Amino acid sequence: MRRPVESPPAKRRPAKPRRAAARVPAAKPYHHGDLRRVLIDAAMQLVGEGGPEAVSVREAARRAGVSPGAPFRHFPSRDALMNAVAEEAQRRFRAEIETALAEGPVDPLGRFRCLGIAYLRWALRNPTHFEVISTRRIFDHDRSAGVSSDNAELIALTERTLAEAFSAGQIGTADLKQVRIAGRALVYGFARMHIDGHLPRWGVAEAEAERMAAGIIDLFIAGLARGTSPAAKV
């Protein structure tokens, strides 16, 4: 009887080496190069979008991508954050004026006009930021050395410019304090009319607000010209 032929044993494939399990890196603690700066920028955006009332430390933290408690090392309260917002708004406001003066005319009265137009241009283009630094309802200037110092320097700049204009014979009145306050009331009042939505009722459309601002400043400057009193132009 023939014996059955046995099949050769199947070759066993070598076992594949087991891959090492991928190591998941441990979560790193949050680190930001300048969290304070990012929080201020976030708060500035909030002011620009919804006004000062839209600002909260929690929402600024959310926009910065950090936990709600992270900002409190830099800003322990909303007031502290608003103080930083006011300082940043004031810095941008002053930069606008300094840039305009650097590129503007050299004669004193021309510089005074340039200062007023730069003031209104920034206020009209950044109404909510201007509101932060212009009303005590939102922010107390006396509690911020930075804002108070910047504001004082701008006032001193205005005083010097008017004194130079008077010395050069460009202004017909020696009461420079009155001129300074009248000029401030003019630009501040026009800016507030824009912020409070009054200009359309006076026939000034949004698109022509800056042109109108330059026009009223020119009217004021004309009244200051030598030999003409401001009262004579009213």
This prediction's pTM: 0.78
Count the Cβ atoms, other than its own, within 10 Å of residue 167: 10
User: Which two structure tokens, joined as six digits, stand for 34?
Assistant: 């300048």
Q: What does the pLDDT read at residue 1?
A: 47
Main-chain phi, psi angles of 134, to 5 degrees: -110, -10
Q: What does the pLDDT read at residue 73?
A: 87
Q: What does the pLDDT read at residue 32?
A: 52
Main-chain phi, psi angles of 138, to 5 degrees: -105, -35
Q: What does the pLDDT read at residue 18?
A: 47
Per-residue pLDDT for the chain (234 aa), expressed as one digit of tens each?
455 445 455 455 544 444 444 443 333 344 556 899 999 999 999 999 998 899 999 999 999 999 888 888 899 999 899 999 999 999 999 999 999 999 999 999 999 999 999 999 999 999 999 999 988 777 666 777 788 888 889 999 999 999 999 999 999 899 999 999 999 999 999 999 999 999 999 999 999 999 999 999 999 999 998 554 444 444
For 226, residues 6+ apart whose C-beta sits below 8 A from its C-beta are 169, 170, 171, 172
* 209 neighbors 112 (Cβ within 8 angstroms): no
Choose among 190, 101, 87, 175: nearest CA to 132: 87
Q: What does the pLDDT read at residue 226?
A: 57
User: Which two structure tokens, joined as six digits, stand for 135?
Assistant: 């009303």
- Give CA–CA dist 225/209, Å, rounded: 25
Q: What does the pLDDT read at residue 144?
A: 76
- Using only C-alpha atoms, what is the Rg of the chain? 32
- Give CA–CA dist 85/91, Å, rounded: 10
Q: What does the pLDDT read at residue 48?
A: 93
Domains observed in the chain:
33-76 (1.10.10), 87-233 (1.10.357.10)
